[in-house]
Structure 1
Amino acid sequence: MINNKDKVAVVFGVRNDSSIAYDVALKLHQSGCKVALSYVEDTKDEVLALMDKAGMDPNYASQVDVRSSEQIDQFLNKVYKGLGPINYILHGVAYGNQKVLCYSLPGSTEPAPSYLDIPFEDLMDSFNISAYSLIRICRSAKELLAQNASILTLTYNASQRVFSGYAGMAINKAALENIVLYLADYFRGQHIRVNALSAGLIMTTSSGAVSGIRRLRKLGKLAAPLGNVSADDVGNAALYYFSDLSTNVTGNLHFVDGGFNIMGVPNDEE
C-alpha cells in the first residue's frame, strides 16, 4: 500500500458513492491522507454522510461553487490553516446541461437539440465548470501547495474521438487536456506536477446524462482489450499520481479504459 501518512488531499467533484472522485478520495484516506471534500448545495448531505461512513474528518469539508474564486479561496485556505500545506488536489468536476449534451428531457416530445444549435451561453457555463475551474483552483492553491505537490484532473476520450452522445462536453474535455499541458509547464518552477486521467465510460450519476450510455458500455466491453473499467480501476491509477512514485511525471494523459483508446474496431473474436 502507498504510504501517504499525514499528507493533505483536497478533492473536488464528489456527488455520491458512484462518483469516480469518491473512489479516489476513499483511496487517499485509506493510504493515510487527511482528506477534505467539496460539495454543492444539493449534495451536501450525501457527501457528509459518505465522509462519516468512511471515517473522514468532515470539519474541513465545504460547499464550493467552482465558478467562484472566493469560495475556492475560502475552502483551500481553511484546509491550509487547519491541516497544513496541500499535497494533492483532484479536480473531478464536470457539468453540461441537456442543451450542451444534446439530449431530450425525459417525457419531452421535442427532438434532442442539434450540435449546431448548442447555445453559446450554456456551453460557456459548462466550460467554466468543467475546464476553466481547474485554472481557477490552481490559482487559488498556488501559494498553499506543499513541495512536490500533485494536481490531477479527470477527462474522457471524447476529447479526441467522436462520441455523439457527449456533444458539447467533448469541447470542454479537449480544453481541459490542453489546460493540463500549460499548467504542467507553468508550475515547473515549483516542481508541482499536473496530470490527467482519461477514464473509460463508468456508470456514474454524471455519465447517466450521456445519450446511449448503455450502448457505449456494451461497445467498450467488445472493443477494449481488457473490457470496461470501474471507478476502482481509476482510483488505483490516481493513487500513483497521488504518491511519491510519480514525482517526475507531469503533463501526462493517462488512459484507464481497458485499452479502448487504441482500437479502431471491435475484435471479431468477441
Structure 2
Amino acid sequence: MQVPTPPLKGMKALVVGVANEHSIAYGCAAAFHQLGAELGLTYLNEKSRSYVEPLARNLDARFLLPLDVSTPGEMEAVFERIAKDWGRLDILVHSVAWAPKEDLQGGLLDCSAEGFGKAMDVSCHSFIRMARLAAPLMKEGGTMLAMSYHGAQKVVSNYNVMGPVKAALEASCRYLAYELGSRGIRVHPVSPGPLKTRAASGLKDFDLLLNEAMHKAPVGELVDIMDVGFACAYLATPYARRITGGTVYVDGGVHIMG
C-alpha cells in the first residue's frame, strides 16, 4: 500500500512565539512537523530558551534563534539565517502579543498612550515588519498566519486594549493579503477560542472566559493548541490555495453564538 506524501513535505516554516509546550505557536510547530514541514523556531529571551530548546529538539528544528520583536536587529538576523540555510520560506507564523500589565488589566479609557503604542508595535506592527522580510523569501508563493482573537470583532470583557490592537492586526492581514496576492502569498488572521496559555493568564478573570466559552461552543468543548495547529497547516497547503485575507475561526463555533 502506498503511503501518502505528507501535505507539507519539503516546506520550510518559521514559527515565531513558542514559549512552552502549552503555547499556540507550539501547536502550530508540532502540526507542521507531523505533516512533513522543516521548522525554524524562535525564543523570546534567555529565560524562555530553557523551555523552548527541548521542544525544538523534539521537532527536529533546523534552527532556534532569539527574537524579541522590540529589539532592533534581531528580526533581521532571523531572516538572514533563513536566507542562508534555506534560501526560501514557505510558511510564517506570527504568534506574538504583549501589553504592559497595568494597561492590559485596566479599562481602555485608562490605557496610557505609551502602553497602547507598545501593545500595537509588538502585537501588530511586528507582523507587518516580519511580512516585509518574509515576502522576498517566498519566491514561489507562501502562507503567512497571525494569531488574533474574537475580541477583535466583538467586545469581550476584560480583553481591554488588546481588542483594538487585534482588530488592527486583522485589518493589517487583509491589506497584506491584497498587496501580496499577486505574488502567490496568502495571509490569514487566525482566531482561536480561549486557551490556557501563558499569555492568556495575564487577562483578568480568564477562567470565567474559558468556562463561558465551553458552555457556548456548539461542539460542547474547548479547542486545544493542536486544533489550531492543524487548521493553520491546512491553510498552508495547496488545498487552501484560494483562501486569503478573511479571519479563520478555530473556536468550536463560539463566535457564532449570541
CA distance in 2, matches of 1:69, 1:179: 22
After superposition, where does 1:194-213 map in structure 2 within 5 Å? 194-213=187-206
Calculate the TM-score normalised by the size of structure 2: 0.93
CA distance in 1, matches of 2:69, 2:218: 36
* Paired residue total: 252
Match of 1:78 among 68, 78, 81: 81
Say whether residues 1:188 and 2:191 are aligned partners.
no
Number of the residue aligned with 1:268: none
Query: Equivalent residue of 2:140, what SS?
Result: strand
Letter in 2 for 1:235: G
Letter in 1 for 2:69: V
CA pair 114-5 structure 1, distance change in 2 beyond 3 A: closer
After superposition, where does 1:10-159 map in structure 2 within 5 Å? 10-41=14-45, 42-57=47-62, 60-68=63-71, 70-102=73-105, 113-159=106-152
Tell me if the contact between 2:107 and 2:161 (Cα under 8 Å) persists in the aligned partners: no
Q: Deviations over 1:27-55 (max 9, x none)?
A: 11121111001111121121111111333
The Cα shift of 1:69 comes to 5.7
The Cα shift of 1:115 comes to 2.8
Q: Percent identity?
A: 30
CA distance in 2, matches of 1:153, 1:202: 16
The Cα shift of 1:14 comes to 0.5
Say whether residues 1:255 and 2:258 are aligned partners.
no
List structure 1 segments (4+ residues) > 6 angstroms apart after TM superposition: none
CA distance in 2, matches of 1:25, 1:100: 30
CA distance in 1, matches of 2:207, 2:255: 18
CA distance in 2, matches of 1:225, 1:31: 28
CA distance in 2, matches of 1:203, 1:185: 33
Q: Deviations over 1:183-219 (max 9, x none)?
A: 0011022111001111000001111111111111111
Query: Equivalent residue of 2:39, what SS?
Result: strand
What is the Cα-based RMSD across aligned positions, in Å?
1.4
Query: Equivalent residue of 1:67, what SS?
Result: coil
Say whether residues 1:230 and 2:224 are aligned partners.
yes
The Cα shift of 1:3 comes to 2.2
Q: Deviations over 1:112-159 (max 9, x none)?
A: x34311111011111101011110001112211131200011100001
Match of 2:155 among 162, 165, 171: 162
The Cα shift of 1:162 comes to 1.3
Q: Which runs of 5+ in 1 are unaligned?
A: 103-112, 265-270
CA distance in 1, matches of 2:182, 2:237: 20
CA distance in 1, matches of 2:107, 2:174: 31
Q: Deviations over 1:44-73 (max 9, x none)?
A: 12111111133333xx22111213462212
Query: Equivalent residue of 2:154, what SS?
Result: coil
Calculate the TM-score normalised by the size of structure 1: 0.89
Query: Equivalent residue of 1:61, what SS?
Result: strand
Larger deviation, residues 27-36 vs 61-70: 61-70
CA pair 68-141 structure 1, distance change in 2 beyond 3 A: farther
